[in-house]
Amino acid sequence: MSGSGVLPHSIFVTHSEGEMTLETSRGETTVELLSGADMIARFLKDEGVEYIYGYPGGAALHIYDALFRQDDVKHILVRHEQAATHAADGYARASGKPGTVLVTSGPGATNAVTGIATAYMDSIPMVVLCGQVASHLIGEDAFQETDIIGVTRPIVKHSFSIRHPAEIPMVLKKAYYLAASGRPGPVVVDIPKDMTAPTERYEYVYPKKVKLRSYNPVTRGHSGQIKKAVDLMLKARRPVFYTGGGIVTGRACEALTDLVCRLGYPITTTLMGIGAYPQSDRQSLGWLGMHGSYESNMAMHHADLIIAIGARFDDRVTNSTSKFCPTAKIVHVDIDPSSISKTVRADVPIVGPAGSVINEMISLVQDREPTNPEALTEWWQKIDGWREERRGKLYEPAEPGEPLKPEQVIEEICRVTRGEAYVTTDVGQHQMFAGQYYKFDKPNRFITSGGLGTMGFGFPAAMGVKQSYPDDDVICVTGEGSFQMMMQELSTCKQYGIGVKIVNLNNGSLGMVRQWQDLNYKSRHAHSYMESLPDFQKLIEAYGFTALRVESPEELEPALERAFADKNELVFLDIYVDPREHVYPMHVPLGSMRDMLLSKTERT
């Protein structure tokens, strides 16, 4: 098993700092001897890791010392370990490369748990290195000891515990390979302190290849199934593409766009798949599900063929599965076989990576035309009708003197940034508004905790995004509830000069909770109202940043112009919005996809 081939040659020990090499008796090639801690630092460099997000502590100190003695990998000191995982996650989502986290044992590791779970639910590649108490202390309830492998077991793709320093390069290689390949996910590596002791050195060779006998992610789909799917696609009368985060992580956006354009079919994406197909294009119906667009939910419900790629029929998409798309046949492409037919039975299941399957589909449709052009024309007329029905009715912008509507704030931000910014969000109403009213034409730009719904995600994630794209506008759209969960990271931004924009849609309450309480609990606002908000302007200024307060519609534009004047300056916009506003459309519980509330007074 792991590392058993490179176990100890009982190599001698030196006490001097830095690296040493060992010459063979014949004076030939030298091998490097490194301590476990130095191996970690060196491995990260050899693996091409740019940033580690972390926080030091006793069990990780040998590793921190090794990082101190090198300049290749940059360590970003966060102010809470949860922020380290979210920042690494944001970095990964924007750049497509795995994020790296380093935390100490016990509380350091448990603080990281929420971020690991967030990455797991959204299939984000991440490697979390956790210090651990020395091996001989494990199980003795030692100081800062937690069984973090046990704690994180249900929320990781895999985890490793280092049992000998010589294993470190291979275990780390496996960790990065597992995190980034197949259906990506977080991998935890538990590193007992004695594994990184500076006094013990072993051969270090960067493992270029890795093989796991029990893990062979598929590289292409079954051709017979793909052919079957394409036949259905060409015969369809009311088709819809329903695509998800798998298109973005699978880097299949261009191929998808090509396929969808060739066929001329409508496409709706999940929250995680936003931007995989340009939202400004006519074929895009926006996103679907609980707060998805009216036309996308209606189209799904009435479709006769759903082509699902890299999406997982999540309950926030399907509403009641027993009433889901009653007339549709379902083609489901996913790299993870367990996602197929998990909640909704697929008629044509295809296990494979989105990119290669879509390319194979393209080659099959190349010289063929859909066989029901009239039906398709009719289908588009129906869809355009749905679009028309809701045009101009989505919300009422505020008149001068009235409180701003959150929707118009997002639309204005989209306009000022020309739809080109990276937008991270926290969780709640503001998240839905950001998804609905910022129009994304490119992938990896809308960065949100889709599966776990983690409040506190947005701000640290924005830090990670900004580090991948320092020359772009990176905006964290948040609310005063979510922001307060991770606002200590202002200090991190100050230390590293991370110039993100924070848009606080301040409605003085936990908006989505309040909305549900309005709808389901006769407006009994149990603990969804915050009477003791800080003066955000003073708070931000205490960290040396600029904060602007916006209370009326006419103040919005100048404030945004000021905020986006300098890409490298952190600016906090405290924007007071109407607390009575609800997010619509909204699925009616236990209904089908077409059962929606459209406003406080209308429903389908």
List, by residue number, the catalytic residues: 81, 143-144, 193, 512
Instruction: Compare residues 158 and 439 and give the one whose CB is closer to another protein.
Output: 158
Render the burial of 3-29: b for 16+ CB within 10 Å, e for the rest.
beebeeeeeeeeeeeeebeeeeeeeee
Q: How far apart are CA 402 and CA 191, in angstroms?
A: 57
Q: How far apart are CA 265 and CA 456, in angstroms?
A: 37
Q: Could you give the residue ranges of the DSSP H alpha helices within 2-60?
A: 36-46
Q: How far is the CB of 354 from another protein (least distance, A)?
A: 18
Pairing of strands 30-35, 201-204: antiparallel
Q: How far apart are CA 208 and CA 457, in angstroms?
A: 34
- Residues near 234 by beta carbon (within 8 Å), at least 6 away in sequence: 365, 368, 369, 370, 371
Which member of 14, 341, 537, 546 binds another protein (CB under 8 A)?
341
Q: Does residue number 329 form part of the binding site for another protein (CB under 8 A)?
A: no
Q: Does residue number 7 form part of the binding site for another protein (CB under 8 A)?
A: no
String marking each residue 202-221 x if it binds another protein according to CB under 8 A: ----------xxxx------
Tokens of 271: 């929250």
Q: How far apart are CA 140 and CA 286, in angstroms?
A: 54
String marking each residue 519-548 x if it binds another protein according to CB under 8 A: ------------------------------
Instruction: Compare residues 174 and 445 and give the one whose CB is closer to another protein.
Output: 174
Q: Does residue number 157 form part of the binding site for another protein (CB under 8 A)?
A: yes
Instruction: Compare residues 5 and 392 and give the one whose CB is closer to another protein.
Output: 5
Which member of 223, 338, 371, 520 binds another protein (CB under 8 A)?
338
Stretch that binds another protein, among 145-153, 286-294, 527-535, 588-596 (CB under 8 A): 145-153
Q: How far apart are CA 186 and CA 481, in angstroms?
A: 27
Which member of 150, 497, 534, 558 binds another protein (CB under 8 A)?
150
Stretch that binds another protein, among 235-243, 320-328, 330-338, 388-396 (CB under 8 A): 330-338
Pairing of strands 20-23, 30-35: antiparallel
DSSP state of 299: H
H/E element holding 269?
Answer: strand 267-269
- Beta carbons of 410 and 275 less than 8 angstroms apart: no
Q: How far is the CB of 154 from another protein (least distance, A)?
A: 5
Q: Tell me which amino acid residue 555 is.
A: E
Q: How far apart are CA 428 and CA 449, in angstroms?
A: 10
Peptide bond into 585 cis (omega under 30): yes
Q: How far apart are CA 569 and CA 468, in angstroms?
A: 16
- Beta carbons of 156 and 127 less than 8 angstroms apart: no
Q: Does residue number 5 form part of the binding site for another protein (CB under 8 A)?
A: no
- Residue 549's Cβ-count burial label (10 Å; 0-12, 13-18, 19+) is middle
Q: How far is the CB of 226 from another protein (least distance, A)?
A: 20
Which member of 161, 297, 449, 478 binds another protein (CB under 8 A)?
161
Q: Does residue number 159 form part of the binding site for another protein (CB under 8 A)?
A: yes
Q: How far is the CB of 337 from another protein (least distance, A)?
A: 5
Q: Does residue number 347 form part of the binding site for another protein (CB under 8 A)?
A: no
Q: Does residue number 149 form part of the binding site for another protein (CB under 8 A)?
A: yes
- Residues near 258 by beta carbon (within 8 Å), at least 6 away in sequence: 358, 362
Q: Does residue number 342 form part of the binding site for another protein (CB under 8 A)?
A: yes
Instruction: Compare residues 197 and 218 and give the one whose CB is closer to another protein.
Output: 218
Which member of 32, 336, 347, 472 binds another protein (CB under 8 A)?
336
Q: How far is the CB of 215 from another protein (least distance, A)?
A: 5
Instruction: Compare residues 48 and 337 and give the one whose CB is closer to another protein.
Output: 337
Instruction: Compare residues 341 and 599 and give the one whose CB is closer to another protein.
Output: 341
Residues at the site binding another protein, with contacts judged by CB under 8 A: 1, 149-150, 153-154, 157-159, 161, 178, 212-215, 336-338, 341-342, 345
